[in-house]
Structure 1
Amino acid sequence: MKAEIAVLDIQGIYRIYTELHRAKTPAGTILLINGSLSTLASFAQTVRYLQPHFNIVLFDLPYAGHSRRYNTHHRLLSRDDEADIIIELIEHFKTDCLLSFSWGGIASLKALARHPRHVRKAAINSFSPLINGAMLDYLQRGSQVLGACDRDGIGELVNSTIGTHLPSLYKRYNHRHISSLEIYEYAQMKFHVDTVLHHEGRSCVSHADVIEIPLLFINGEWDEYTTAQDARQFARHARHCEFHSVARAGHFIDIEHRQANLDTRNALLDFLFAPAIPHRQAMAV
Protein backbone atom coordinates (compact mmCIF):
# COMPACT_ATOMS: atom_id res chain seq x y z
CA MET A 1 0.00 0.00 0.00
CA LYS A 2 1.42 3.37 -1.03
CA ALA A 3 1.98 6.07 1.54
CA GLU A 4 -0.47 8.96 1.68
CA ILE A 5 1.57 12.10 1.11
CA ALA A 6 0.59 15.53 2.40
CA VAL A 7 2.41 18.83 2.86
CA LEU A 8 0.97 20.46 5.96
CA ASP A 9 0.93 24.11 6.94
CA ILE A 10 2.19 24.45 10.52
CA GLN A 11 1.27 27.67 12.30
CA GLY A 12 1.45 29.56 9.02
CA ILE A 13 5.24 29.39 9.28
CA TYR A 14 6.42 25.97 8.14
CA ARG A 15 5.46 23.54 5.42
CA ILE A 16 6.02 19.96 6.52
CA TYR A 17 6.18 16.98 4.15
CA THR A 18 4.47 13.96 5.71
CA GLU A 19 3.83 10.34 4.80
CA LEU A 20 1.07 8.23 6.33
CA HIS A 21 1.63 4.48 5.97
CA ARG A 22 -1.62 2.74 6.82
CA ALA A 23 -1.96 -0.71 8.35
CA LYS A 24 -4.90 -2.95 7.38
CA THR A 25 -6.13 -3.28 10.96
CA PRO A 26 -4.18 -0.70 12.99
CA ALA A 27 -3.82 -0.92 16.74
CA GLY A 28 -3.02 2.78 16.74
CA THR A 29 -0.96 5.46 15.00
CA ILE A 30 2.72 6.13 15.69
CA LEU A 31 4.65 9.32 14.89
CA LEU A 32 8.35 8.65 14.10
CA ILE A 33 10.88 11.40 14.87
CA ASN A 34 14.35 11.06 13.39
CA GLY A 35 17.73 12.32 14.54
CA SER A 36 20.18 14.95 13.34
CA LEU A 37 21.22 14.96 9.68
CA SER A 38 18.57 12.29 8.98
CA THR A 39 15.43 12.23 6.89
CA LEU A 40 12.33 10.09 7.07
CA ALA A 41 14.08 7.57 4.79
CA SER A 42 16.17 6.48 7.79
CA PHE A 43 13.08 4.77 9.24
CA ALA A 44 12.63 2.31 6.36
CA GLN A 45 13.47 -0.71 8.54
CA THR A 46 11.30 0.53 11.39
CA VAL A 47 8.30 0.99 9.11
CA ARG A 48 8.64 -2.62 7.90
CA TYR A 49 8.15 -4.12 11.35
CA LEU A 50 5.66 -1.59 12.70
CA GLN A 51 3.27 -1.17 9.77
CA PRO A 52 1.65 -4.61 10.10
CA HIS A 53 0.39 -3.41 13.50
CA PHE A 54 0.15 0.40 13.37
CA ASN A 55 -0.42 3.34 11.08
CA ILE A 56 2.93 5.10 10.72
CA VAL A 57 3.43 8.86 10.31
CA LEU A 58 6.78 10.06 8.96
CA PHE A 59 7.88 13.65 8.38
CA ASP A 60 10.86 15.81 7.53
CA LEU A 61 11.64 18.96 9.49
CA PRO A 62 11.55 22.21 7.46
CA TYR A 63 15.28 22.20 6.71
CA ALA A 64 15.55 18.51 5.79
CA GLY A 65 14.62 15.95 3.17
CA HIS A 66 11.38 16.44 1.24
CA SER A 67 10.38 19.50 3.32
CA ARG A 68 13.33 21.61 2.17
CA ARG A 69 11.78 22.74 -1.10
CA TYR A 70 8.68 24.11 0.64
CA ASN A 71 10.44 26.36 3.15
CA THR A 72 12.70 29.36 3.30
CA HIS A 73 15.77 28.93 5.43
CA HIS A 74 16.34 32.34 6.93
CA ARG A 75 16.21 31.32 10.59
CA LEU A 76 17.45 28.41 12.65
CA LEU A 77 14.98 26.19 14.47
CA SER A 78 15.29 25.67 18.20
CA ARG A 79 14.27 22.43 19.87
CA ASP A 80 11.19 24.29 21.14
CA ASP A 81 10.30 25.08 17.52
CA GLU A 82 10.66 21.39 16.70
CA ALA A 83 8.48 20.48 19.68
CA ASP A 84 5.82 22.88 18.35
CA ILE A 85 5.87 21.01 15.04
CA ILE A 86 5.62 17.63 16.78
CA ILE A 87 2.60 18.80 18.78
CA GLU A 88 0.86 19.99 15.62
CA LEU A 89 1.51 16.67 13.89
CA ILE A 90 0.22 14.73 16.88
CA GLU A 91 -2.98 16.76 16.77
CA HIS A 92 -3.39 16.48 13.01
CA PHE A 93 -2.90 12.71 12.80
CA LYS A 94 -4.21 11.97 16.31
CA THR A 95 -1.15 9.84 16.98
CA ASP A 96 -1.39 7.83 20.17
CA CYS A 97 2.24 6.66 20.24
CA LEU A 98 5.56 8.32 19.56
CA LEU A 99 8.96 6.88 18.66
CA SER A 100 12.10 9.01 18.46
CA PHE A 101 15.69 8.26 17.52
CA SER A 102 18.88 9.83 18.87
CA TRP A 103 18.77 13.66 18.98
CA GLY A 104 15.10 13.55 18.10
CA GLY A 105 14.63 12.61 21.74
CA ILE A 106 15.19 16.19 22.90
CA ALA A 107 12.29 17.74 20.97
CA SER A 108 10.19 14.63 21.69
CA LEU A 109 10.58 14.93 25.45
CA LYS A 110 9.86 18.65 25.23
CA ALA A 111 6.67 17.90 23.32
CA LEU A 112 5.60 15.11 25.70
CA ALA A 113 6.09 17.44 28.67
CA ARG A 114 3.21 19.51 27.26
CA HIS A 115 0.88 16.52 27.68
CA PRO A 116 -0.44 16.11 24.12
CA ARG A 117 -3.89 14.70 24.59
CA HIS A 118 -3.73 11.78 22.15
CA VAL A 119 -0.37 10.21 23.09
CA ARG A 120 -0.52 7.27 25.50
CA LYS A 121 3.01 5.81 25.17
CA ALA A 122 6.41 6.83 23.80
CA ALA A 123 9.67 5.05 22.99
CA ILE A 124 12.96 6.95 22.99
CA ASN A 125 15.75 5.16 21.10
CA SER A 126 19.51 5.76 21.36
CA PHE A 127 19.29 8.66 23.76
CA SER A 128 20.47 9.52 27.27
CA PRO A 129 20.28 12.60 29.51
CA LEU A 130 24.06 12.72 30.04
CA ILE A 131 26.95 13.99 27.96
CA ASN A 132 29.72 11.52 28.70
CA GLY A 133 33.32 11.82 27.54
CA ALA A 134 32.74 10.09 24.21
CA MET A 135 29.73 12.26 23.40
CA LEU A 136 31.54 15.44 24.42
CA ASP A 137 34.43 14.64 22.09
CA TYR A 138 31.99 13.83 19.27
CA LEU A 139 30.13 17.12 19.75
CA GLN A 140 33.27 19.23 19.90
CA ARG A 141 34.69 17.66 16.74
CA GLY A 142 31.27 17.90 15.13
CA SER A 143 31.04 21.62 15.82
CA GLN A 144 34.39 22.14 14.10
CA VAL A 145 33.66 20.21 10.89
CA LEU A 146 30.12 21.58 10.67
CA GLY A 147 31.40 25.13 11.10
CA ALA A 148 33.98 24.56 8.37
CA CYS A 149 31.33 22.93 6.14
CA ASP A 150 33.80 20.06 5.73
CA ARG A 151 31.47 17.67 3.95
CA ASP A 152 33.76 14.64 3.87
CA GLY A 153 34.90 15.37 7.41
CA ILE A 154 31.32 15.35 8.69
CA GLY A 155 30.57 12.03 6.98
CA GLU A 156 33.79 10.46 8.23
CA LEU A 157 33.16 11.69 11.77
CA VAL A 158 29.68 10.19 11.94
CA ASN A 159 30.77 6.83 10.50
CA SER A 160 33.82 6.54 12.76
CA THR A 161 31.93 7.38 15.96
CA ILE A 162 28.20 6.76 16.41
CA GLY A 163 28.14 4.82 13.13
CA THR A 164 31.10 2.57 13.84
CA HIS A 165 28.94 -0.58 14.11
CA LEU A 166 27.00 0.04 10.89
CA PRO A 167 27.46 -2.45 8.03
CA SER A 168 29.78 -1.17 5.31
CA LEU A 169 26.91 -0.65 2.85
CA TYR A 170 25.11 1.62 5.32
CA LYS A 171 28.32 3.51 6.01
CA ARG A 172 28.70 4.26 2.30
CA TYR A 173 25.10 5.43 2.08
CA ASN A 174 25.52 7.46 5.28
CA HIS A 175 28.61 9.22 3.98
CA ARG A 176 27.02 9.97 0.61
CA HIS A 177 23.92 11.41 2.28
CA ILE A 178 25.69 13.46 4.94
CA SER A 179 28.31 14.89 2.58
CA SER A 180 25.67 16.11 0.12
CA LEU A 181 23.51 18.24 2.41
CA GLU A 182 22.82 21.95 1.98
CA ILE A 183 24.90 24.53 3.82
CA TYR A 184 21.90 25.62 5.90
CA GLU A 185 21.46 22.03 7.11
CA TYR A 186 25.01 22.01 8.46
CA ALA A 187 24.35 25.40 10.06
CA GLN A 188 21.21 24.01 11.69
CA MET A 189 23.07 21.01 13.08
CA LYS A 190 25.93 23.19 14.35
CA PHE A 191 23.37 25.37 16.12
CA HIS A 192 21.95 22.32 17.92
CA VAL A 193 25.40 20.95 18.75
CA ASP A 194 26.61 24.28 20.14
CA THR A 195 23.41 24.64 22.17
CA VAL A 196 24.12 21.30 23.84
CA LEU A 197 27.78 22.15 24.38
CA HIS A 198 26.70 25.29 26.22
CA HIS A 199 24.52 23.15 28.51
CA GLU A 200 21.26 24.34 27.04
CA GLY A 201 18.49 22.33 25.48
CA ARG A 202 19.55 18.94 26.84
CA SER A 203 18.30 19.29 30.42
CA CYS A 204 15.88 16.53 29.55
CA VAL A 205 15.31 15.27 33.06
CA SER A 206 13.27 18.39 33.82
CA HIS A 207 10.91 17.42 31.00
CA ALA A 208 10.81 13.78 32.10
CA ASP A 209 9.73 14.91 35.57
CA VAL A 210 6.36 16.06 34.27
CA ILE A 211 5.68 13.37 31.65
CA GLU A 212 2.85 11.14 32.83
CA ILE A 213 2.66 8.49 30.11
CA PRO A 214 4.82 5.31 30.06
CA LEU A 215 8.22 5.68 28.40
CA LEU A 216 10.52 3.02 26.97
CA PHE A 217 14.22 3.76 26.50
CA ILE A 218 16.04 1.47 24.05
CA ASN A 219 19.84 1.67 23.77
CA GLY A 220 22.52 -0.45 22.15
CA GLU A 221 24.83 -2.45 24.40
CA TRP A 222 27.87 -1.22 22.45
CA ASP A 223 26.77 2.41 22.14
CA GLU A 224 29.49 4.48 23.82
CA TYR A 225 27.75 7.79 23.14
CA THR A 226 24.24 7.29 24.51
CA THR A 227 24.85 4.34 26.78
CA ALA A 228 22.21 2.06 28.25
CA GLN A 229 23.60 2.81 31.70
CA ASP A 230 23.32 6.57 31.22
CA ALA A 231 19.78 6.25 29.88
CA ARG A 232 18.76 4.65 33.18
CA GLN A 233 19.20 8.03 34.84
CA PHE A 234 15.68 8.72 33.58
CA ALA A 235 14.41 6.25 36.21
CA ARG A 236 15.00 8.95 38.83
CA HIS A 237 12.65 11.32 37.04
CA ALA A 238 10.05 9.71 34.77
CA ARG A 239 6.95 8.43 36.55
CA HIS A 240 6.77 5.26 34.51
CA CYS A 241 9.76 4.18 32.48
CA GLU A 242 11.22 0.94 31.21
CA PHE A 243 14.62 0.19 29.73
CA HIS A 244 15.90 -2.25 27.17
CA SER A 245 19.49 -2.85 26.06
CA VAL A 246 19.97 -4.41 22.62
CA ALA A 247 22.82 -6.92 22.69
CA ARG A 248 25.79 -6.44 20.35
CA ALA A 249 24.38 -3.21 18.94
CA GLY A 250 25.68 0.33 18.80
CA HIS A 251 23.92 3.65 18.27
CA PHE A 252 21.97 2.69 15.12
CA ILE A 253 20.45 -0.32 16.86
CA ASP A 254 17.85 -1.77 14.50
CA ILE A 255 19.81 -1.39 11.24
CA GLU A 256 23.15 -2.78 12.39
CA HIS A 257 22.33 -6.49 12.06
CA ARG A 258 19.33 -8.79 11.83
CA GLN A 259 19.26 -9.93 15.45
CA ALA A 260 19.44 -6.36 16.70
CA ASN A 261 16.55 -5.52 14.40
CA LEU A 262 14.47 -8.39 15.82
CA ASP A 263 15.40 -7.52 19.40
CA THR A 264 14.45 -3.86 18.92
CA ARG A 265 11.19 -4.80 17.21
CA ASN A 266 10.20 -7.26 19.94
CA ALA A 267 11.01 -4.86 22.77
CA LEU A 268 9.04 -2.08 21.11
CA LEU A 269 5.99 -4.18 20.28
CA ASP A 270 5.92 -5.76 23.75
CA PHE A 271 5.90 -2.26 25.23
CA LEU A 272 3.29 -0.83 22.89
CA PHE A 273 0.87 -3.72 23.30
CA ALA A 274 1.25 -4.08 27.08
CA PRO A 275 -1.51 -2.53 29.21
CA ALA A 276 -0.46 0.85 30.53
CA ILE A 277 0.35 0.91 34.25
CA PRO A 278 0.05 4.53 35.40
CA HIS A 279 2.24 6.34 37.89
CA ARG A 280 4.91 3.81 38.63
CA GLN A 281 8.49 3.24 37.59
CA ALA A 282 9.71 -0.07 36.21
CA MET A 283 13.18 -1.39 35.57
CA ALA A 284 13.43 -3.93 32.75
CA VAL A 285 16.42 -5.87 31.50
Structure 2
Amino acid sequence: MRPEIAVLDIQGQYRVYTEFYRADAAQKTIILVNGSMATTASFAQTVKNLHPQFNVVLYDQPYAGKSKPHNRHEKMLTKDVEGQILLELIDHFAAEHVLSFSWGGAATLSALAQRPRRIEKAVISSFSPVLNAPMLDYLERGVDYLSNLDRDRVGHLVNSTIGKHLPPLFKRFNYRHVSSLAEHEYGQMHFHISDVLRSDQQCYIKVAKKINVPVLFINGEWDEYTSAADARLFANHVQHCCFTTVQATGHFLDMEHKAACRDSRKALMGFLLPAHYESQPRYNYVQGYHALAI
Protein backbone atom coordinates (compact mmCIF):
# COMPACT_ATOMS: atom_id res chain seq x y z
CA MET A 1 0.00 0.00 0.00
CA ARG A 2 2.10 2.85 -1.35
CA PRO A 3 0.70 6.40 -1.37
CA GLU A 4 0.78 8.96 -4.14
CA ILE A 5 3.00 11.74 -2.81
CA ALA A 6 2.76 15.44 -3.64
CA VAL A 7 3.85 18.77 -2.16
CA LEU A 8 1.01 21.21 -2.75
CA ASP A 9 1.08 24.98 -2.96
CA ILE A 10 -1.52 26.55 -0.66
CA GLN A 11 -2.44 30.04 -1.89
CA GLY A 12 1.21 30.82 -2.61
CA GLN A 13 1.97 30.95 1.12
CA TYR A 14 2.61 27.39 2.27
CA ARG A 15 3.87 24.11 0.86
CA VAL A 16 2.14 21.05 2.24
CA TYR A 17 3.42 17.48 1.92
CA THR A 18 0.58 15.03 1.23
CA GLU A 19 0.09 11.28 0.93
CA PHE A 20 -2.90 9.94 -0.98
CA TYR A 21 -3.82 6.28 -0.45
CA ARG A 22 -6.02 5.49 -3.40
CA ALA A 23 -8.44 2.54 -3.37
CA ASP A 24 -10.02 1.61 -6.70
CA ALA A 25 -13.26 0.38 -5.11
CA ALA A 26 -13.65 3.28 -2.66
CA GLN A 27 -16.52 5.68 -3.26
CA LYS A 28 -15.50 8.27 -0.65
CA THR A 29 -12.31 10.08 0.38
CA ILE A 30 -11.37 10.92 3.97
CA ILE A 31 -8.69 13.39 5.05
CA LEU A 32 -6.93 12.95 8.40
CA VAL A 33 -5.80 15.87 10.58
CA ASN A 34 -3.06 15.03 13.04
CA GLY A 35 -2.23 16.62 16.36
CA SER A 36 0.41 19.20 17.21
CA MET A 37 4.04 18.19 16.60
CA ALA A 38 2.77 15.11 14.77
CA THR A 39 3.53 13.85 11.29
CA THR A 40 1.77 11.59 8.81
CA ALA A 41 3.38 8.62 10.60
CA SER A 42 1.05 9.10 13.57
CA PHE A 43 -1.85 7.79 11.45
CA ALA A 44 -0.15 4.56 10.32
CA GLN A 45 -2.70 2.34 12.08
CA THR A 46 -5.68 4.56 11.26
CA VAL A 47 -4.89 4.27 7.54
CA LYS A 48 -5.00 0.48 7.87
CA ASN A 49 -8.39 0.78 9.59
CA LEU A 50 -9.86 2.91 6.79
CA HIS A 51 -8.23 1.64 3.60
CA PRO A 52 -9.43 0.24 1.16
CA GLN A 53 -12.99 1.15 2.13
CA PHE A 54 -11.90 4.79 1.66
CA ASN A 55 -9.35 6.77 -0.24
CA VAL A 56 -7.24 8.24 2.58
CA VAL A 57 -5.36 11.56 2.59
CA LEU A 58 -2.62 12.41 5.10
CA TYR A 59 -0.63 15.64 5.32
CA ASP A 60 2.01 17.40 7.40
CA GLN A 61 1.45 20.92 8.67
CA PRO A 62 3.84 23.44 7.03
CA TYR A 63 6.07 23.52 10.12
CA ALA A 64 6.32 19.75 10.60
CA GLY A 65 7.44 16.49 9.08
CA LYS A 66 8.09 16.37 5.34
CA SER A 67 6.46 19.77 4.78
CA LYS A 68 9.15 21.39 6.94
CA PRO A 69 11.93 21.67 4.29
CA HIS A 70 9.56 23.41 1.86
CA ASN A 71 8.61 26.35 4.11
CA ARG A 72 10.41 29.36 5.60
CA HIS A 73 8.82 29.32 9.09
CA GLU A 74 8.72 33.11 9.28
CA LYS A 75 5.51 33.28 11.32
CA MET A 76 3.45 31.08 13.60
CA LEU A 77 0.30 29.39 12.32
CA THR A 78 -2.98 29.96 14.13
CA LYS A 79 -5.67 27.31 14.34
CA ASP A 80 -7.72 29.38 11.87
CA VAL A 81 -4.89 29.32 9.32
CA GLU A 82 -4.58 25.56 9.83
CA GLY A 83 -8.34 25.39 9.27
CA GLN A 84 -7.96 27.28 5.97
CA ILE A 85 -5.21 24.89 4.88
CA LEU A 86 -7.54 21.99 5.64
CA LEU A 87 -10.31 23.58 3.55
CA GLU A 88 -7.91 23.91 0.61
CA LEU A 89 -6.94 20.25 0.90
CA ILE A 90 -10.58 19.17 1.16
CA ASP A 91 -11.25 20.89 -2.16
CA HIS A 92 -8.09 19.61 -3.82
CA PHE A 93 -8.77 15.97 -2.95
CA ALA A 94 -12.59 16.28 -3.18
CA ALA A 95 -12.88 14.74 0.29
CA GLU A 96 -16.30 13.88 1.69
CA HIS A 97 -15.12 13.06 5.23
CA VAL A 98 -12.60 14.43 7.71
CA LEU A 99 -11.12 12.78 10.81
CA SER A 100 -9.01 14.63 13.38
CA PHE A 101 -6.94 13.56 16.34
CA SER A 102 -6.33 15.54 19.55
CA TRP A 103 -5.39 19.20 18.90
CA GLY A 104 -6.09 18.63 15.23
CA GLY A 105 -9.69 18.98 16.36
CA ALA A 106 -9.25 22.75 16.78
CA ALA A 107 -8.37 23.29 13.12
CA THR A 108 -11.06 20.82 12.07
CA LEU A 109 -13.78 22.64 14.01
CA SER A 110 -12.61 25.90 12.47
CA ALA A 111 -12.85 24.40 8.98
CA LEU A 112 -16.23 22.74 9.58
CA ALA A 113 -17.66 26.03 10.83
CA GLN A 114 -17.12 27.37 7.30
CA ARG A 115 -19.56 24.67 6.12
CA PRO A 116 -17.45 23.25 3.27
CA ARG A 117 -19.90 22.00 0.66
CA ARG A 118 -18.10 18.71 0.00
CA ILE A 119 -17.97 17.43 3.57
CA GLU A 120 -20.70 14.96 4.52
CA LYS A 121 -19.48 13.64 7.90
CA ALA A 122 -16.69 14.35 10.39
CA VAL A 123 -15.00 12.43 13.18
CA ILE A 124 -13.23 14.26 16.01
CA SER A 125 -11.20 12.02 18.31
CA SER A 126 -9.48 12.69 21.64
CA PHE A 127 -10.72 16.27 21.87
CA SER A 128 -12.99 18.19 24.24
CA PRO A 129 -14.22 21.78 24.43
CA VAL A 130 -12.81 22.50 27.90
CA LEU A 131 -9.48 22.64 29.68
CA ASN A 132 -10.05 20.44 32.72
CA ALA A 133 -7.59 20.30 35.63
CA PRO A 134 -5.35 17.52 34.22
CA MET A 135 -5.12 19.16 30.80
CA LEU A 136 -4.45 22.58 32.31
CA ASP A 137 -1.61 21.15 34.39
CA TYR A 138 -0.18 19.39 31.32
CA LEU A 139 -0.31 22.54 29.19
CA GLU A 140 1.14 24.84 31.84
CA ARG A 141 4.10 22.53 32.40
CA GLY A 142 4.48 22.06 28.66
CA VAL A 143 4.64 25.77 27.86
CA ASP A 144 7.31 26.19 30.55
CA TYR A 145 9.48 23.36 29.21
CA LEU A 146 9.01 24.50 25.61
CA SER A 147 10.00 28.08 26.38
CA ASN A 148 13.25 26.78 27.88
CA LEU A 149 13.86 24.33 25.01
CA ASP A 150 14.03 21.59 27.63
CA ARG A 151 13.78 18.66 25.24
CA ASP A 152 14.20 15.98 27.88
CA ARG A 153 11.36 17.29 30.05
CA VAL A 154 9.02 17.78 27.09
CA GLY A 155 9.57 14.17 26.01
CA HIS A 156 9.02 12.76 29.47
CA LEU A 157 6.01 15.02 30.06
CA VAL A 158 4.18 13.62 27.04
CA ASN A 159 4.88 10.00 27.99
CA SER A 160 3.90 10.46 31.63
CA THR A 161 0.60 12.22 30.87
CA ILE A 162 -1.41 11.81 27.67
CA GLY A 163 0.88 9.00 26.50
CA LYS A 164 0.98 7.00 29.72
CA HIS A 165 -1.12 4.14 28.31
CA LEU A 166 1.02 3.68 25.19
CA PRO A 167 3.13 0.52 24.76
CA PRO A 168 6.80 0.95 25.77
CA LEU A 169 7.96 0.87 22.13
CA PHE A 170 5.73 3.81 21.25
CA LYS A 171 6.90 5.74 24.32
CA ARG A 172 10.52 5.32 23.28
CA PHE A 173 9.73 6.51 19.77
CA ASN A 174 7.68 9.44 21.07
CA TYR A 175 10.56 10.54 23.28
CA ARG A 176 13.07 10.38 20.43
CA HIS A 177 10.69 12.25 18.15
CA VAL A 178 9.81 15.14 20.44
CA SER A 179 13.33 15.59 21.78
CA SER A 180 14.75 16.01 18.28
CA LEU A 181 12.30 18.56 16.86
CA ALA A 182 13.57 21.80 15.34
CA GLU A 183 13.54 24.96 17.43
CA HIS A 184 10.80 26.49 15.27
CA GLU A 185 8.57 23.48 16.00
CA TYR A 186 8.99 24.09 19.73
CA GLY A 187 8.16 27.73 19.05
CA GLN A 188 5.02 26.74 17.15
CA MET A 189 3.87 24.45 19.94
CA HIS A 190 4.61 27.15 22.53
CA PHE A 191 2.55 29.60 20.48
CA HIS A 192 -0.28 27.08 20.14
CA ILE A 193 -0.44 26.25 23.86
CA SER A 194 -0.16 29.91 24.88
CA ASP A 195 -3.06 30.74 22.57
CA VAL A 196 -5.15 27.94 24.06
CA LEU A 197 -4.41 29.12 27.60
CA ARG A 198 -5.38 32.70 26.72
CA SER A 199 -8.47 31.86 24.69
CA ASP A 200 -12.07 32.18 25.75
CA GLN A 201 -13.03 28.79 27.14
CA GLN A 202 -16.25 28.96 25.11
CA CYS A 203 -14.44 29.42 21.79
CA TYR A 204 -14.84 25.80 20.67
CA ILE A 205 -18.52 25.82 21.62
CA LYS A 206 -19.10 28.99 19.61
CA VAL A 207 -17.45 27.46 16.56
CA ALA A 208 -19.26 24.14 16.99
CA LYS A 209 -22.65 25.84 16.79
CA LYS A 210 -21.97 26.68 13.13
CA ILE A 211 -21.37 23.07 12.06
CA ASN A 212 -24.11 21.57 9.90
CA VAL A 213 -22.85 18.03 9.20
CA PRO A 214 -23.04 14.91 11.41
CA VAL A 215 -20.06 14.64 13.77
CA LEU A 216 -18.87 11.63 15.75
CA PHE A 217 -16.80 12.37 18.86
CA ILE A 218 -14.55 9.49 19.98
CA ASN A 219 -12.73 9.49 23.32
CA GLY A 220 -10.90 6.94 25.40
CA GLU A 221 -12.38 5.69 28.67
CA TRP A 222 -9.08 6.27 30.52
CA ASP A 223 -8.31 9.64 28.91
CA GLU A 224 -8.49 12.16 31.74
CA TYR A 225 -7.12 14.99 29.57
CA THR A 226 -9.80 15.03 26.88
CA SER A 227 -12.39 13.00 28.70
CA ALA A 228 -15.49 11.43 27.23
CA ALA A 229 -17.62 13.33 29.74
CA ASP A 230 -16.12 16.66 28.69
CA ALA A 231 -16.54 15.84 24.98
CA ARG A 232 -20.27 15.33 25.57
CA LEU A 233 -20.57 19.05 26.28
CA PHE A 234 -20.71 19.38 22.48
CA ALA A 235 -24.10 17.61 22.54
CA ASN A 236 -26.07 20.80 23.12
CA HIS A 237 -24.23 22.74 20.43
CA VAL A 238 -23.53 20.49 17.44
CA GLN A 239 -26.84 19.93 15.68
CA HIS A 240 -26.13 16.38 14.50
CA CYS A 241 -23.65 14.58 16.74
CA CYS A 242 -23.04 11.28 18.47
CA PHE A 243 -20.46 9.98 20.92
CA THR A 244 -18.38 6.84 21.36
CA THR A 245 -16.16 5.90 24.29
CA VAL A 246 -13.46 3.33 23.52
CA GLN A 247 -13.18 1.13 26.58
CA ALA A 248 -9.94 0.51 28.48
CA THR A 249 -7.86 2.99 26.49
CA GLY A 250 -6.44 6.46 26.92
CA HIS A 251 -5.73 9.46 24.72
CA PHE A 252 -4.03 7.65 21.82
CA LEU A 253 -6.90 5.24 21.10
CA ASP A 254 -5.98 2.83 18.26
CA MET A 255 -2.25 3.04 19.05
CA GLU A 256 -2.54 1.66 22.55
CA HIS A 257 -3.52 -2.00 22.11
CA LYS A 258 -5.25 -4.45 19.80
CA ALA A 259 -8.73 -4.25 21.35
CA ALA A 260 -8.68 -0.45 21.28
CA CYS A 261 -7.69 -0.56 17.60
CA ARG A 262 -10.55 -2.97 16.84
CA ASP A 263 -13.09 -0.89 18.75
CA SER A 264 -11.90 2.35 17.16
CA ARG A 265 -12.33 0.85 13.70
CA LYS A 266 -15.78 -0.43 14.59
CA ALA A 267 -16.83 3.04 15.73
CA LEU A 268 -15.44 4.68 12.58
CA MET A 269 -17.02 2.26 10.16
CA GLY A 270 -20.33 2.18 12.03
CA PHE A 271 -20.55 5.96 11.65
CA LEU A 272 -19.08 6.45 8.17
CA LEU A 273 -20.48 3.32 6.48
CA PRO A 274 -23.46 2.20 8.58
CA ALA A 275 -25.21 0.37 5.73
CA HIS A 276 -22.13 -1.60 4.71
CA TYR A 277 -20.36 -2.21 8.00
CA GLU A 278 -19.84 -5.89 8.76
CA SER A 279 -20.35 -7.06 12.33
CA GLN A 280 -16.99 -8.82 12.23
CA PRO A 281 -14.87 -7.05 9.60
CA ARG A 282 -11.53 -8.18 8.31
CA TYR A 283 -9.09 -6.75 10.81
CA ASN A 284 -5.34 -6.37 10.95
CA TYR A 285 -3.51 -4.65 13.80
CA VAL A 286 0.09 -3.71 13.21
CA GLN A 287 2.15 -2.36 16.10
CA GLY A 288 4.40 -0.12 14.05
CA TYR A 289 6.16 3.15 14.77
CA HIS A 290 4.02 6.23 15.34
CA ALA A 291 5.12 9.82 15.59
CA LEU A 292 4.02 11.98 18.46
CA ALA A 293 0.51 13.41 18.26
CA ILE A 294 -0.63 15.79 20.97
TM category, shorter = over 0.9
* CA distance, structure 2, for counterparts of residue 152 and residue 214 of structure 1: 41
Name the residue aligned to 1:281: none
The residue that corresponds to 1:212 in the other structure is: 212
In 2: Cα distance, 1:158 partner to 1:91 partner: 34
* 2:152 is aligned with 1:152: yes
Instruction: Measure how far apart 1:27 and its partner are.
Output: 2.9
Q: Which amino acid in structure 2 is aligned with residue 54 of structure 1?
A: F
* Alignment-mate amino acid for residue 240 of structure 2: H
SS in 1 for 2:234: helix
Query: 1:202 Cα shift?
Result: 6.9
> Could you say which residue in structure 1 is the equivalent of 2:181?
181
Point out where structure 2 has 5 or more consecutive residues left out of the alignment.
276-294
Identity of aligned residues (%): 56
Q: Is the 8 A contact 2:131 2:201 kept in 1?
A: no
Distance 1:162 1:182 in 2: 22
Q: How far apart are the structure 2 equivalents of 1:206 and 1:154? A: 31
Shift of 1:36: 1.0
Q: Please name the residue that 1:190 is paired with.
A: 190
Higher RCO by CA contacts (8 Å cutoff, separation 6 or greater): 2
Deviations 1:70-105 (A, max 9, x none): 000110001111011000000000100000000000
Stretch of structure 1 that moved more, 24-33 or 179-188: 24-33
List per-residue Cα deviations over 1:196-217 (Å, max 9, x = no partner): 1112587111111110100000
Q: CA–CA distance in 1 between the matches of 2:207 and 2:126?
A: 17
SS of 1:158's partner is helix
Tell me whether 1:43 sits opposite 2:49 in the alignment: no
Matched-pair contact (CA < 8 Å) for 1:221–1:245: yes
**SS at structure 2 position matched to 1:124:** strand
Contact 1:109–1:207 under 8 Å retained in 2: yes
The SS at the match of 2:263 is helix
TM-score, structure 1 normalization: 0.95
Q: Deviations over 1:154-191 (max 9, x none)?
A: 11000000000000000000000010000000000010
Distance 1:201 1:9 in 2: 33
After superposition, the Cα gap between the structure-2 partners of 1:201 and 1:192, relative to the gap in structure 1 and judged at 3 Å, is farther
What's 1:90 paired with?
Answer: 90
Query: Residue by residue, what CA displacement relative to the aligned partner does 1:25-70 show, whole Å, maximum 9, x if unpaired?
Result: 1030000000011101000000011012000000001000000000
Number of aligned residues: 275
Distance in 1 between residues matched to 2:251 and 2:226, nearest whole Å? 7
Cα distance in 2 for partners of 1:66, 1:201 equals 33
> Is residue 106–residue 201 contact of structure 1 (8 Å, CA) maintained in 2?
no
Paired amino acid for 1:215: V
RMSD: 1.0
Question: 1:135: how far off?
Answer: 0.4
Counterpart Cα distance in 2 of 1:269 and 1:202: 31
Structure 1's unaligned 5+ residue stretches are 276-285
Which deviations, in whole Å up to 9, do the C-alpha atoms of 1:201-251 show, x marking residues without a partner? 871111111101000000000000000000000001000100000000000
Match of 2:223 in 1: 223
Q: Is the contact between residue 35 and residue 104 of structure 2 (CA under 8 Å) also seen in structure 1? A: yes
The 3-state SS of whatever aligns with 2:98 is strand
Residue matched to 2:245: 245
Distance 1:202 1:19, change over 3 A: farther
